[in-house]
Amino acid sequence: MLRYYLCFVIFVLLFSGYIDKTASPDNSNSRKLLAPPEGIYHCAFPDFGAAEDNVTTERIVEFENLVGKPIVWAYFSNNWIEGINFPEASVRIIHEQGVIPFIRMMPRSIYEYEGGPDPVYTMQRIIEGSFDAELAQWAEAAKRTNIPLMVEFGTEVNGDSSPWSGRWNGGGDMNQYGDSNLPDGPERFRDAYRHIIDLFRAQGVKNISWVFHVYAQGWPEESWNNMAAYYPGDDYIDWIGVSIFGPGKPGKAWQTFTEILDGCYLEFSAISTEKPLVILEFGVVDDSATGDKVAWIREALESIKSGRYPRIKAISYWHETWENNDGTLSNLRVDSSLESLEVYREEIADPFFVTNAYFSDGDN
């Protein structure tokens, strides 16, 4: 009799939502993140340290308490400095807070980057399968958690500040040599990202929503370095994101959020006509000598709410402070001043910024 009673209780809990069905070990309930039917998701990088990978419960709780609202995902980096390893501990910390882990795959073997290709993780070597064994282990570990994940590879690829950028992986080789069979930088990145996703599919991984991430102001300003040239394609990608930063260092020229996003929105939104768009990183330094951070934040969130950019379905604030080489401090945190925190709290309290995630069955 007790056995039948326990079966009945489990049945009721499953269908009333009290048991987390994403924890099923057979991976049958894997899901992809959908755009919300109304409004946009509220998300953040909640200051996980200089290497962007010091994930703690305290940082998530602190950010949510600061702004007075939960986040849908927490953004963090998976650096390959010590090898290609799935960040399971970080994933579980975030998941236990009821937040989606958003992993930035960072193919770099050194922190002190001074320009140029990475000495280990070039796009060509990824395409050739040099790291397939490690990537397969990463994929299997991700699958085994059966936790819905967001994953991006090669952040802000159309900029030249990272070793995976087009500039450092062939640049505009096709144009330079006039050889249509010679892959250029964007093509190599595209094919490397496709290679990774194909490998994950072969492993049966269904709990990842794949994200493509560009920078608003690409560099170098050459025709080959356009956003769409890097795009793996709608068959591979679930979300398309962009970084929109005002000045990140004291003394720099000031640009408003809308000035930056207006300047790239047509190119950004033309990457795909189907996929939801997201502001993956946005923020601005607190520097009253050059601009008004409070006004910058207010304009950013008001412009998003206004419908000016109708395809944007999520925003993710970059909440961090770091010291520059010249000793100046770049404080992008929402609480860099009481006034900036108050305006963020006021704007984000609007129900337009939603905190409930919507999923569909994953079918990579």
The closest alpha carbon to 295, from 259, 333, 257, belongs to 257
* Domains in the chain: boundaries: 34-361
- Containing 45, the helix (H) or strand (E) segment is strand 40-46
pLDDT at 115: 86
pLDDT at 30: 62
pLDDT at 29: 53
Q: Which tens digits make up the pLDDT trace of 241-264?
A: 999 999 999 999 999 999 999 999
Mean pLDDT, rounded, for 13-20: 36
Mean pLDDT, rounded, for 123-129: 97
Please report, as a single letter, which amino acid is at residue 169: N
Domain 34-361 part of CATH 3.40.30.10 = no
Q: Which tens digits make up the pLDDT trace of 251-300?
A: 999 999 999 999 999 999 999 999 999 999 999 999 999 999 999 999 99
pLDDT for residue 193 is more than 50: yes
Tokens encoding 129: 């399968």
Mean pLDDT, rounded, for 7-29: 39
Model's pTM, two decimal places?
A: 0.90
pLDDT at 11: 39
d(CA 103, CA 81): 15
pLDDT for residue 28 is more than 60: no
Token pair 């520059």 in the structure block, residue: 324
| Higher per-residue confidence, 59 vs 176 | 59
